[in-house]
Structure 1
């Protein structure tokens, strides 16, 4: 039997980050290409490592990144997974992508299916963003990066969780206001932001600070009141900030920069982007929505991500300013 650290032959470096690097390698046993996430142990918490590895090992679904192996040394842990070349950010930014409802539905139904499966295992991902959703050459979605995932104690409603999770642009309002009592609906908010971004071509709520993040969300959805967020005043940080009352915007065609926003899609998107977490349906419920069900018989799209555009977009990526400020 080949020892893990001798089993893989590095082909190229695919990405770098604060945690370490991702390399593409050849498995000398299976003869297949794989991805290896090499994490420098001093750069991450032990809890994050446990979350990443345990989540990948226990989740088995078509739309979840497939775990293959794990090995390590004193200062580095290597997690081996299937190779998936693109991120959903590459799809969003690809100027050659057809802007059709069918293609949007093809991708999003897979994201929603993966999230529904994760939640069925009582796991919250807590860091859903385009860069953590991978896309294969055949346009199959693979949800990845479970470093912030945790078990949801559904039988213990008073259980508290870390509020400092999720990337700011995709962070649910209850997290922005310091709530430590929340549930899987934080992921529903995040994928709603991603769905809007898929249509718009740019993030819908790109605040440059937490205060600005709150401001741009309220600029679109309106300020909290007893109707749209009954529990608003119970949020830990609710009384620390004052906002001028704003009404929600209803011109979603303008917000999404698309003239092709149907009433059905409008309703579907708004179900995700609700200030009150209790008003956001579960992923399993959203899978039954008429907008999603239209895609039950969709054939695999002909579209393929432009490799050249994907590489250029990664080099040129800059944080955008928000149109509503």
Structure 2
């Protein structure tokens, strides 16, 4: 008789930081957790299988109340947008982290750019670039038509399905701006991108976002809440008063603002010292609520609009448009446009290319909170975007220029760009079915820090020494730094 088979080895213990998702019966009874695909200070993402139909999904465990609330609210508002990641379900408990169930998308635009740079002969074709741009614009247009500012657009937050559908993700920093003064969009927008097939939605019921009232909790469930995404329920289980109070107080942006992981997980480096060479931010003290001032410490430095770098707390969807200009330039050149190592270096790189900021080209810029704190010497001969995009056509350069105006009011909207001649003249965008898509997220570069590589702390070709001597002057409000 054969000896009895030895007992199977027990599974390895879950990571200490994310123990809760493994021990929550309401989750494990519905989803088989396969592996962790992303980890950060404020969220972790797992690949999982839905037991009811074997659908592969992403479980995003968010360790911060505000970020979870923002993401759920934004994704419910955008639930019918084909170029925004779908929220399938969520779990919420008073004493536990929120867990969002998202569609699983295997790769992102950052990986596509990296693959094209390394291995694609000829890079990304013009027709492919146009299709990617159209999809990005459709996603951003959907956000802005719903008064949602994403606030952290970058290639690694633009996820891509295996069949080439691009979707905006990671809405943990997003804001729904309900004040009419902030946002003004076309109320009767045209449908764009006729070649994009409507992906089969896995959200089976319509959603309705409920705001400004506390939603009653399910009876008989104790503190455990499950977001069923029913029509009449809105953000089920969220204490709206608690969320609104926390937003109107100090906005501690405990959101992952650095490397984006699969299915919208991100990580963040804490960067309290503006002179450190890092790529992302944790918010400092400052008001950030739905109806008042917003924090300027949002987004990822390489894609942050000048008004944010100067400390603005009165901004709108135009900050996303600046980010798009940087993303499109990177699609064209396969290199980041302004890879700053600090806020000062970031501004210096922008000024070297676009010239100095003045009241003439940006009315009101001198009133920005940090405008007088740091001053740069006059750039006599700005390099111009042509220097950063030397192999691009005039139409391609003009597309980027329409987004990279210092004056936010001058930036083209997503809808306007969808009608730009560059996207509507030959060669036309390739059909989605013909797009080349990486099979998975690109492994980190050799020698690059961080689990996922990505953009964090990438080497730059200039730093403070490139500006020469630095003059620091003490002022009534702190200090002023002047670069010659």
> What TM-score results when the alignment is normalised by the length of structure 1?
0.90
Give the aligned partner of residue 66 of structure 2.
47
Give the aligned partner of residue 277 of structure 1.
408
Superposition deviation, residue 274 in structure 1: 1.0
Cα offsets for 1:252-299 (capped at 9, x unmatched): 44313x42x111111111011111111102211111111122376632
Flag the 1:164–1:5 CA change in 2: closer, same or farther, 3 A: same
Give the aligned partner of residue 290 of structure 1.
421
Superposition deviation, residue 234 in structure 1: 1.8
Cα offsets for 1:63-105 (capped at 9, x unmatched): 1001100014422221001110112110111123433111111
Give the aligned partner of residue 112 of structure 2.
91
Q: Is the 8 A contact 2:423 2:429 kept in 1?
A: no
Q: Is the 8 A contact 1:221 1:247 kept in 2?
A: no
SS at match of 1:25: strand
Give the aligned partner of residue 458 of structure 2.
319
Q: Is the 8 A contact 2:312 2:369 kept in 1?
A: yes
Aligned residues: 318
| Further displaced range: 150-159 or 119-128 | 150-159
SS at match of 2:29: helix
SS at match of 2:141: helix
SS at match of 1:156: coil
Q: Does 1:173 align with 2:306?
A: yes
Structure 1: tracts of 5 or more residues without a match: none
Pick one of 289, 296, 303 that aligns with 1:163: 296
Superposition deviation, residue 214 in structure 1: 0.9
Structure 2: tracts of 5 or more residues without a match: 1-24, 183-290, 446-450, 467-484
Give the aligned partner of residue 100 of structure 2.
79
Q: Does 1:105 align with 2:238?
A: no
Cα offsets for 1:224-277 (capped at 9, x unmatched): 123322222121211112211115645544313x42x11111111101111111
Cα offsets for 1:124-163 (capped at 9, x unmatched): 0011111111011122111011111112245235942121
> What TM-score results when the alignment is normalised by the length of structure 2?
0.62
Flag the 1:269–1:138 CA change in 2: closer, same or farther, 3 A: same
Q: Distance in 1 between matches of 2:419 and 2:440?
A: 37
Give the aligned partner of residue 30 of structure 1.
53
Q: Is the 8 A contact 2:131 2:429 kept in 1?
A: no
Q: Is the 8 A contact 1:153 1:159 kept in 2?
A: no
Larger radius of gyration: 2
Give the aligned partner of residue 145 of structure 1.
170
Q: Does 1:11 align with 2:150?
A: no
SS at match of 1:195: helix
Superposition deviation, residue 190 in structure 1: 0.5
Q: Does 1:218 align with 2:351?
A: yes
Q: Distance in 1 between matches of 2:132 and 2:89?
A: 27
Flag the 1:70–1:287 CA change in 2: closer, same or farther, 3 A: same
| Further displaced range: 118-127 or 93-102 | 93-102
Q: Is the 8 A contact 2:143 2:150 kept in 1?
A: yes
Cα offsets for 1:142-196 (capped at 9, x unmatched): 1011111112245235942121111111110001111111110000001111111
Equivalent runs, 1:237-252 vs 2, <5 Å:
237-247=370-380, 249=382, 252=385
Give the aligned partner of residue 20 of structure 1.
43
